[in-house]
Structure 1
């Protein structure tokens, strides 16, 4: 499981590095003004729908069912099932795309009502969203193909495909002078990337000896089971996106730049979430599904423990860094050109609030598959419903005093509520028991994170002496110094603690 997760995580990291290159260029050219906010909404809208109908919900319903059909009926049965599902996807996406293009002003009004007070910004947002929305249909089919590949334990192509989105957007920025605005260039880059990503995963499917086929979408028993699982999964994904919709809607009423603050902070927050959380979620679901089918309950519990210990070990140092170094890190990455000090400070406050919920939201990538592997897509929806109420209530309560950072804190609190509910339900059902190895390593990771924080804080006066070493990037050397030595302290404490635990218990493998 961890070998596959490392493969997915490594490719996701490459994608995020390309994404940072893209975002650095975007920040310099777009800044955090009205045009940037318009593009952020246009970029978020198809991604919201993708997350609802494609990645989260679709994988939760399709991968276990496809794997079951493949096991019981072989390649021929899996081909018939996947062909019928593909036909359904194409029908739904065609209807959604036509409806969105026709009613786009109403859609944008719903998503960003605050923009209606500035007609030029509203009109630009509508134009940009009409360009980007076609990306949804393309990436939905690409997600379907990726699900097939994952079920056959081919993870690399699906994990690498997002790299192509960033490459296309970087190329679009280089050609921006040929478009009305930089935002229009980026919108076309997003759409083109949909074609490129789809072609890439279809090529990998062809390499595996399989083909895309269309079949009449008859309501066979397998299709009915898929739809019964897909319905609650959509509601669950929709709940997550509802909270994000709420961020965009509320932020559109906040001072100009708030939508952009959320975006740039989210880019950093998403790095550990993507590299760790997505990698674990993608690999853990088929792994747990096979163990559940084989009746290996001990293997299920062990897999969850190993996933959770990895999540705590890898996310806790990120939490410490985001809480202590948000502003200098954002300044180094984005603080140039049109991205001024106000944008740096605003984005940093949002990142600090997001950091509070980082471990919880990554842990959901392990806890939720524990239900989906058993075909239970309803329980996570109920837990998410309670968490979403907390999330949105806090957003509304905190937006006035804390602006965009209040929205981010609501997201963090909701993630903890969601994770705790799922963990309690799994524990009560006897499907999650925290073994001694997990408990000891979590406590060790907490101690190592405090060591990291102490080093970073203690280095503050010393590191400031190097701010003028590279005048164009005054924060670069201090940030690198604190990250390097703080990370070394974390690793040292983890290594020493691991040895001490191993000697005490003999073996914790």
Structure 2
């Protein structure tokens, strides 16, 4: 299956999930607003979610897939890979139980570490944040187990089930929010909504685990439960996964740093960053996760059979496709960020002023959007070779820069400075990854690819200029009626897409050879 087809399958279903996520956040903004219970909920939701992305999606998947694929290659059937997966599952369950229990017990301290002044100064609000985080935290355990099944399915080139699973999270949360709209508009009603949301998060984790387990069995991969043992395979995975926490999870670690600095900012900062990141996560999730997920199994197989040329072509295609899709998305959101936040979020407890602040956060976040996606595209090249140490060094350097920039920018720009610091640090990580890939002889961008990337930036700049002049024309419609909002945003999207496509064709960025390059079956 071609890279473009794999990315399309994963990205298409991820887009459905992100659209459900938009509906969820639109309801969240109207029901909980920014600050108060809204901030308490964002804090409670971030804690299990960051751990999930850091350990489950980042480190575990990146370390597990190459080891799993190697066992599939060495055996005539899947029995060896199944045995490895069963050993990992048996060891993972008690680890998650112990970690989850300790985290729930220590939740008052954990939440207190990241709570801002608005939450800390209200004991009832602090208690609510701790309660919501405790109720939602089992989601981490369910999703960590679900990630094992997702990694197995992706290695079998069955991407759809895992890409569709997050839709269940958004459906559960939307259900809780719709019910919450019947409870009234007071503070007590918002507290009840927050509690129901935390239940919905944990229920969604269980549903995703059952969903992926069912699809694994349907695909002929049936796993039995064993006594936990530290086998050679589990030990090898553990050695790889520890540095992978930093190497693959730099973005999520930076979110922990963000939480610390958010605790120093005024009421509402949690919500502004969360709602702004929703717009940033749409292209990041659709393109970055899809590309990173799609290329890791193929890279692992090519490297295992010493097909250096095929691995290099696949990596080049992934980098070029990432830039082709993310650069225009970043430029468009940078220019139109406040238009989108006004259209999606204004209403109920979320004001126009909240939307403008969130829009400024979006503009800062998307400066790093191509970098975040490139990190997800480049790191699999190290993990496919079981090199998890090198990304640790680049991640460490990026994190140090992120912290330094936070100290420099947050006091001056507030939550906008926080978003900008993360974006700049992400670009430093990309530069270091490219340098070290070249030095180690793993991969080097050719002059042809550099030339195409330069033309992509030119096409995106032309689109950005057009949007800069068009965006103010719809100012009165962005916070108008439903049809007015839809029409105004649709007009921006159509103008941006049309200008970028025409510029890309005129500059030779998109042509028949490009399409053939991305649709060719790898390997």
User: What's the TM-score, normalizing by structure 1?
Assistant: 0.94
Shift of 1:161: 0.1
CA deviations 1:350-377 (Å, max 9, x no partner) are 1111111111111011110010000011
CA distance in 2, matches of 1:285, 1:112: 37
CA distance in 2, matches of 1:340, 1:63: 45
**Cross-structure match for 1:203:** 214
CA distance in 1, matches of 2:460, 2:101: 50
Shift of 1:439: 2.6
CA distance in 2, matches of 1:10, 1:456: 25
Tell me the SS of whatever aligns to 1:91: helix
**Cross-structure match for 1:18:** 20
Q: Is the 8 A contact 1:80 1:215 kept in 2?
A: no
Q: 1:127 to 1:71 in 2, by over 3 A?
A: same
**Cross-structure match for 1:182:** 193
CA distance in 2, matches of 1:366, 1:303: 10
CA distance in 1, matches of 2:423, 2:350: 26
Q: 1:236 to 1:334 in 2, by over 3 A?
A: same
CA distance in 1, matches of 2:434, 2:479: 48
Confirm whether residue 47 of structure 1 aligns to residue 67 of structure 2.
Answer: no
**Cross-structure match for 1:37:** 39
**Cross-structure match for 2:399:** 388
Confirm whether residue 91 of structure 1 aligns to residue 94 of structure 2.
Answer: yes
**Cross-structure match for 1:487:** 497
Shift of 1:220: 2.9
CA distance in 2, matches of 1:195, 1:117: 34
CA distance in 2, matches of 1:469, 1:133: 36
Taking the TM superposition and a 5 Å limit, the aligned residue runs for 1:423-438 are 423-438=434-449
**Cross-structure match for 1:266:** 277
- The partner residue of 1:124 within 122, 128, 148 is 128
CA distance in 2, matches of 1:423, 1:17: 33
- The partner residue of 2:450 within 439, 444, 456 is 439
Confirm whether residue 144 of structure 1 aligns to residue 148 of structure 2.
Answer: yes
Tell me the SS of whatever aligns to 1:181: helix
CA distance in 1, matches of 2:472, 2:415: 30
- The partner residue of 2:370 within 359, 363, 369 is 359
Confirm whether residue 167 of structure 1 aligns to residue 178 of structure 2.
Answer: no
CA deviations 1:123-153 (Å, max 9, x no partner) are 1100100110011111111011111111111
**Cross-structure match for 2:521:** none
Shift of 1:113: 5.8
Q: 1:490 to 1:113 in 2, by over 3 A?
A: closer
When the two chains are superposed, the root-mean-square deviation of aligned CA atoms in Å is 2.2
Query: How many residues end up aligned between the 2 structures?
Result: 506
Bigger shift: residues 470-479 or 151-160: 470-479
Q: Is the 8 A contact 2:361 2:419 kept in 1?
A: yes
Q: Is the 8 A contact 1:312 1:445 kept in 2?
A: yes
CA distance in 2, matches of 1:117, 1:368: 42
Shift of 1:332: 0.3
Shift of 1:495: 1.8
Higher relative contact order by CA 8 Å / sep ≥ 6: 1 or 2? 2
CA distance in 1, matches of 2:329, 2:246: 30
**Cross-structure match for 2:243:** 232
Shift of 1:381: 0.9
Confirm whether residue 320 of structure 1 aligns to residue 331 of structure 2.
Answer: yes
User: 5+ residue gaps in structure 1?
Assistant: none
CA distance in 2, matches of 1:21, 1:461: 25
CA deviations 1:405-437 (Å, max 9, x no partner) are 111111101100111000011122232232354
CA distance in 2, matches of 1:221, 1:134: 29
Shift of 1:274: 0.4
Shift of 1:501: 7.9
Q: 1:431 to 1:339 in 2, by over 3 A?
A: same
Shift of 1:53: 1.9
Confirm whether residue 28 of structure 1 aligns to residue 30 of structure 2.
Answer: yes
**Cross-structure match for 2:381:** 370
Shift of 1:460: 4.4
CA distance in 2, matches of 1:225, 1:385: 23
Shift of 1:288: 0.5
CA distance in 2, matches of 1:258, 1:499: 39
CA deviations 1:182-214 (Å, max 9, x no partner) are 111211111110111111101101111222322
CA distance in 2, matches of 1:213, 1:508: 42
CA deviations 1:77-114 (Å, max 9, x no partner) are 22221111111111111101211222211111123264
Tell me the SS of whatever aligns to 2:347: coil
**Cross-structure match for 1:108:** 111
CA distance in 2, matches of 1:441, 1:348: 30
